Amino acid sequence: MTDNEGTPDALTDGFHLLIDALKLNDLNTIYGVPGIPVTDLGRMAQDAGIRVLSFRHEQNAGNAAAIAGFLTKKPGICLTVSAPGFLNGLTALAHATTNCWPMILISGSSEREVVDLLQGDYEEMDQLAIAKPLCKAAYRILHAEDIGIGVARAIRSAVSGRPGGVYLDIPGALLGQVMDEAEGAKSLVKVIDPAPAQIPAPSAVSRAIEVMKGAKKPLIILGKGAAYAQADEVVREFVETSGMPFLPMSMAKGLLPDNHQQSAAAARSMALKESDVVIMVGARLNWLLSHGKGKQWGDAHSTKFVQIDIEPREMDSNVEIAAPLVGDVESCLSALLTEMGSSWEKPSEDWLGPLSVKKESNLVKMASKLLNNSNPMDYHAALGVLREIIAERPDAMLVNEGANTLDLARSIINMSKPRKRLDVGTWGVMGVGMGSAIAAAVETGNPVLAIEGDSAFGFSGMEVETICRYNLPVCIVIFNNNGIYRGTDVNTSGGSDVATTVFVKDARYDQMMEAFGGAGAYVTSPDELRRAVNEAMDSGRPTLVNAVIDEAAGSESGNIGSLNPQSVVSKK
């Protein structure tokens, strides 16, 4: 190509256009694993000032991108190679979609001509077709001049309405396609107002107010959609103006401090069972809330629901919603506040009094358990220590997965700021821990405490090398009870294999961190645990604390043992 004077025109290519399109939209971090055909893309992105974090497995990179989406309201970017790398990333993309977090999985792929004739290309797979049912939207870009619009479409799909995961298919040849640099620059799109406010209809607001006014025992449930919305001030104002007790779902903890007077978290069962009107704010009536019916809700099917959600199809998903309020959390709560005015009648002591008695009794029961100084430690003894450490560091990020390790940490460790608690989410999925910890450190710059069951940690444990490589301020505490739920199961067949839930006894996970230059600690008492974790959180040095937990202390599946099907046939 030449211009009028005969000098060569400046050229660009697919690599540069993709990088420029991401940067133009302030997407400045990529989580991924390099390889054909995206190795140079990662190198060039790094060279262009994007932070490119290379992981040891795509699922962990994808989980990092998913959490980055939750924390920032911008799509987290995960970059993978074709077929196997793509599939490794796909679980995380589905996880992001299920949790309503924005994420874009960008995967290199083989050429259409070869894939569609099934001619056996290197890592051949019809990735677009496979991704489609597992995410919110899936696109393929075939021409360099479409990269700008393709990336824009992916961003808008990920963050607008109910957020979710988007797949972007990048055939290898696209990256090498060449076009005029000026034309290329013109083809890029800066997405304007990617997640527009969604204002609720005035009639829907009035209906909600009427239902709220009729309540004798109202309850607010805050979900991780409310945390995602970053409408923290309005949420606080709504809760405090209403005077209603509130329950935070796991990742909504800290939206208002857990020690807030109106928190009913320590009287959860009573609050759910006895409330007559429940205002759902960015939370779904899924399995985590017993689908809004049954014993947990007092069996009478008399609870009336007001539901605030950006997704209209969420309404009536499980039970009738008396007052659907479709819109974003900030707009809906602001509209409610306007109608409530300054003289809103707060709930009566007939409701708040007994609730607070129940709450106090659970708090007292809990307090005594936390002082347990047993050796080996039980969950309460160890979590009592970590609770203090988090209380002293309100800005620290808390990552949490496991079964007992998850359920007990959720109720024991108070959160005092929004979006500080990251856990297994809607699927209860193990393996999100290290991806979440890495993204938490990268996106916030704050110290991270990852409280991990020994099984949970194993799903993404190799990323300790990644944590050391990038020198991230992550302290992992492994609750080592020698297995899944407990380390005490026996193989009843009499064979020599250990039981299916049991691991190598007294494994030295701490040495994994030491192998890569981080600090390891092996602790058996609350005092040793306190010392090791404080030192790690203060120094910011990558650390793994192997906390020995009584192998008999846990229960099957933690708090959700009732979900296990029971066999009625006795074989012996």
Q: Which two tokens stand for residue 343?
A: 């003289």
260 binds ligand OXT (CB under 6 A): no
- Least separation in angstroms between residue 62's CB and ligand ADP is 18
Q: Which residue is nearest to ligand ADP (CB)?
A: 225
384 binds ligand OXT (CB under 6 A): no
Name the nearest CA neighbour of 89 among 130, 148, 28.
130
Q: Given the complex with ligand OXT, which of 154 and 289 has the nearer CB atom?
A: 289
99 binds ligand ADP (CB under 6 A): yes
| Segment lying near ligand OXT (by CB under 6 A), choices 136-144, 311-319, 450-458, 460-468 | 450-458
The site partner of 265 among ligand OXT, Mg ion, ligand ADP, none (C-beta below 5 to 8 Å per kind) is ligand OXT
CA angle 276, 234, 420 (to 5 degrees): 95
Give the one residue of 169, 401, 454, 510 binding Mg ion; rule: CB under 5 A: 454
524 binds ligand OXT (CB under 6 A): no
* Cα separation values, 318 from 291, 294, 321, 425, 564, Å: 6, 12, 9, 19, 21
463 binds ligand OXT (CB under 6 A): no
- Least separation in angstroms between residue 445's CB and ligand ADP is 24
Give the one residue of 23, 56, 162, 369 binding ligand ADP; rule: CB under 6 A: 162
Residue 45: CB atoms within 10 A of its CB come to 25
| Segment lying near Mg ion (by CB under 5 A), choices 215-223, 306-314, 332-340, 480-488 | 480-488
- The interface mask with ligand ADP, positions 208-227, x = CB under 6 A, is ---------------xxx--
Strand 519-523 versus strand 543-548 pairing type: parallel
The site partner of 267 among Mg ion, ligand ADP, ligand OXT, none (C-beta below 5 to 8 Å per kind) is ligand OXT
Give the whole-angstrom CA distance, residue 223 versus residue 216. Answer: 22
Name the nearest CA neighbour of 440 among 97, 71, 75.
71
Q: Between residue 306 and residue 365, which ones bind ligand OXT under the rule CB under 6 A?
A: 362-363
426 binds ligand ADP (CB under 6 A): yes
Give the whole-angstrom CA distance, residue 140 versus residue 106. Answer: 10
Q: Write down the residue that tokens 């003894």 correspond to.
A: 381
Q: Which two tokens stand for residue 206?
A: 């009035």
- Least separation in angstroms between residue 415's CB and ligand OXT is 10
- Least separation in angstroms between residue 502's CB and Mg ion is 10
Q: What is the number of helices (H) and of strands (E) in the chain?
A: 22, 19
The site partner of 229 among ligand OXT, Mg ion, ligand ADP, none (C-beta below 5 to 8 Å per kind) is ligand ADP
485 binds ligand OXT (CB under 6 A): yes
- Least separation in angstroms between residue 331's CB and ligand ADP is 8
Estimate to the nearest angstrom the gap between the alpha carbon of 204 and the chain centroid.
30
Give the whole-angstrom CA distance, residue 79 versus residue 103. Answer: 11
Helices (H), 425-557: 433-444, 454-458, 464-469, 510-515, 526-539
Residue 10: CB atoms within 10 A of its CB come to 12
Amino acid at 2: T
Q: Given the complex with ligand ADP, which of 220 and 251 has the nearer CB atom?
A: 251
The site partner of 328 among ligand ADP, ligand OXT, Mg ion, none (C-beta below 5 to 8 Å per kind) is ligand ADP
Q: What is the DSSP string of 208-240?
A: HHHHHHT-SSEEEEE-HHHHHTT-HHHHHHHHH
Q: Which two tokens stand for residue 369?
A: 């358990």
Q: Given the complex with ligand OXT, which of 71 and 406 has the nearer CB atom?
A: 406
* Dihedral over alpha carbons 280, 284, 289, 292 (to 10 degrees): 70
Phi, psi of 549 (to 5 degrees): -115, 140
Q: Given the complex with ligand ADP, which of 286 and 557 has the nearer CB atom?
A: 286
407 binds ligand ADP (CB under 6 A): no
- Least separation in angstroms between residue 284's CB and ligand ADP is 3
Q: Given the complex with ligand ADP, which of 31 and 228 has the nearer CB atom?
A: 228
* Cα separation values, 56 from 125, 142, 359, Å: 22, 29, 44
Q: Between residue 208 and residue 227, which ones bind ligand OXT under the rule CB under 6 A?
A: none
282 binds ligand ADP (CB under 6 A): yes
Binding site for ligand ADP (CB under 6 A): 99-100, 162-163, 223-225, 228-229, 249, 251-252, 282-284, 286, 288, 308-311, 314, 328-329, 426
Binding site for ligand OXT (CB under 6 A): 250, 265-270, 288, 362-363, 366, 402-407, 410-411, 424, 428-431, 453-456, 479, 481, 484-485, 554, 557-560
